[in-house]
């Protein structure tokens, strides 16, 4: 009988990789919380119509990539391919739009898209999403970019590039679309990929986002959106650029940056890592002032971004960042079965003093136990055999320098409390982070 296997494009995440994801989530909660963002937990399943209306029927996501099926009542349901539409649905359904002038929400969790698995891109992937609803001013755009920059720096990432563009608004976009359509009509359609030939009629703007080299070559001289926006949109964008400049966030203007979803307007942005090759985008987003009306609600401005956690993990691994979880304080090596109960009680004393570690109840010689303690990267190995059991003592061995001392079990709690205070002091001085990368 064959053993079960994961579905293609879906993966199990074991330690230490799982610790990296926990580190990213905890860092996000700390940084986003400092900017007034509250965590929202969304369902992974939504009615399909939400994404058809919110993302756009012409997008590759809706046409090719969604996991959609009918339930027992024949209703079309979809595993969420992105979070923004769900956040706005929850925002409207909960009545927050009538209660909060500005609502700041963030989401972390799995998303689902049926696409070719590759480095940093899986069919079940994980995102961190932030959405600010109710703020239309350019300062809100700049602040969310500053928050994203702070989050990525707090993770320890370097070698990042912030790309920015403006897409104009509903007032000035039609004028640009006429110029864009005229430019595209002059091209030979046969030189474009099948998707772009379809977009010529349905959504010409998305041709700028195509990654096919032949399409990018054909559209190299396409008119830039920024040169054809209204005075209000131009002033909005200049304000964003000015704030980022004063806060020492360097940006690169990218006239082809239109994002992949239909609801974006004005500021759009993408953060690209030099550490992970061609699939270098680790975060992206922009302003979407028209999304709430697409979903049947009142007109509410919004801006947000999503970070791909698989991409962030690749970038962090590529930079050789160290440990992403607290180092175990102890590894309890039990050398005799008769000692097991007392060893377990001693370990509970250590845990009550906020230390962490495991008890090795397996039979084995001391050398093997010490090797396991080293593999676990424990700071101390507590050795407890028949001789120690008889004397109510335990040997505490420092795994870094090899020094060891014999302690009465009755003093183990005092030792643990001193150890924990030392940990806190070292953490305050930056020598021994408790819950972040080292």
DSSP string covering 94-126 = TTHHHH-SSEEEEEEEEEE--S--BTTB-SEEE
Question: In whole angstroms, what is the distance from residue 332 CA to residue 350 CA?
Answer: 11
pLDDT class of 432 with cuts at 50, 70, 90: very low
Question: The CATH number of 330-428 is which of 3.40.50.720, 3.40.50.800, 3.90.1150.10, 1.20.1300.10?
Answer: 3.40.50.800
Q: What is the mean pLDDT of residues 135-140?
A: 93
Q: Which of 311, 283, 303 is nearest to 148 (CA)?
A: 283
pTM higher than 0.85 for the full model? no
pLDDT class of 185 with cuts at 50, 70, 90: confident
- Taking only the tens place, the pLDDT of each residue in 61-89 is 666 788 899 999 999 999 999 999 999 99
Which stretch of 120-134, 349-363, 414-428 has the lowest confidence by average pLDDT? Answer: 414-428
Which stretch of 110-119, 187-196, 397-406 has the lowest confidence by average pLDDT? Answer: 187-196
Q: What is the mean pLDDT of residues 29-56?
A: 91
pLDDT of residue 217: 80
Q: What angle do CA 256, 261, 266 make, to 5 degrees?
A: 60
Query: Over pLDDT 90: what percentage of the chain?
Result: 43
Q: Where are the domains of the chain?
A: 17-172+229-318, 330-428
- Decide if 49 contacts 15 (C-beta within 8 A): no
- Decide if 281 contacts 311 (C-beta within 8 A): yes
User: Judging by DSSP bridges, how do beta strands 404-408 and 67-70 pair with one another?
Assistant: unpaired
Question: In whole angstroms, what is the distance from residue 119 CA to residue 110 CA?
Answer: 17
Q: What is the mean pLDDT of residues 22-41?
A: 94
Q: Do domains 17-172+229-318 and 330-428 have the same CATH topology?
A: no
pLDDT of residue 364: 80
pLDDT of residue 119: 67
Radius of gyration of the chain (CA): 27
Question: In whole angstroms, what is the distance from residue 64 CA to residue 44 CA?
Answer: 19
CATH superfamily of 17-172+229-318: Bira Bifunctional Protein; Domain 2 (3.30.930.10)
Has residue 212 got a pLDDT over 50?
A: yes
Has residue 213 got a pLDDT over 70?
A: yes
């Amino acid at each position: 009988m064959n053993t079960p296997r994961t579905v293609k494009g879906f993966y199990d995440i074991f330690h230490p990789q799982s610790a990296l994801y926990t580190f990213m989530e905890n860092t996000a909660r700390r940084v986003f919380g400092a900017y007034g963002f509250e965590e929202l937990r969304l369902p992974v399943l939504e009615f399909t119509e939400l994404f058809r209306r919110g993302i756009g029927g012409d997008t590759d996501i809706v046409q090719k990539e969604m996991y959609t099926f009918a339930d027992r009542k024949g209703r079309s349901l979809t595993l969420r391919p992105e979070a923004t539409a769900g956040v706005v649905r929850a925002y409207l359904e909960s009545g927050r739009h009538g209660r909060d002038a500005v609502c700041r929400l963030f989401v972390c969790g799995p998303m689902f898209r049926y696409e070719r698995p590759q480095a940093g891109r899986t069919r079940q992937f994980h995102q961190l999403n932030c959405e600010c609803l109710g703020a239309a001013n350019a300062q809100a755009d700049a602040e969310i970019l500053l928050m994203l920059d702070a989050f990525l720096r707090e993770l320890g990432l370097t070698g990042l590039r912030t790309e920015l563009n403006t897409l104009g608004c509903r007032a000035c976009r039609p004028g640009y679309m006429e110029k864009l359509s005229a430019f595209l009509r002059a091209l030979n359609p046969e030189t474009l990929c099948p998707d772009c030939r379809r977009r010529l009629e349905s959504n010409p703007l998305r041709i700028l986002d195509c990654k096919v080299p032949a399409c990018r070559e054909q559209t190299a001289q396409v008119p830039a959106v920024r040169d054809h926006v209204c005075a209000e949109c131009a002033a909005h964008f200049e304000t964003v650029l000015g704030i980022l400049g004063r806060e020492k966030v360097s940006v690169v203007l990218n006239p082809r940056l239109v994002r992949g979803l239909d609801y974006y307007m004005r500021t759009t942005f993408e953060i690209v890592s030099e550490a992970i090759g061609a699939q270098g985008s680790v975060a992206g987003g922009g302003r979407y002032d028209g999304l709430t009306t697409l979903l049947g609600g009142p007109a509410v401005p919004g801006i947000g971004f999503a970070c791909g956690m698989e991409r962030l993990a690749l970038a962090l691994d590529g930079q050789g960042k160290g440990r992403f979880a607290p180092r175990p304080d102890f590894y309890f090596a039990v050398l005799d079965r008769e000692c097991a109960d007392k060893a377990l009680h001693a370990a509970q004393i250590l845990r009550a003093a906020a230390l962490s570690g495991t008890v090795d109840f397996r039979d084995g010689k001391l050398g093997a136990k010490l090797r396991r303690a080293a593999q676990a990267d424990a700071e101390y190995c507590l050795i407890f055999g028949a001789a120690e059991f008889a004397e109510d003592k335990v040997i505490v061995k420092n795994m870094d320098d090899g020094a060891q001392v014999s302690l009465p079990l009755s003093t183990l709690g005092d030792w643990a409390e001193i150890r924990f205070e030392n940990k806190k002091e070292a953490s305050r001085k930056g020598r021994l982070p408790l819950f972040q990368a080292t």
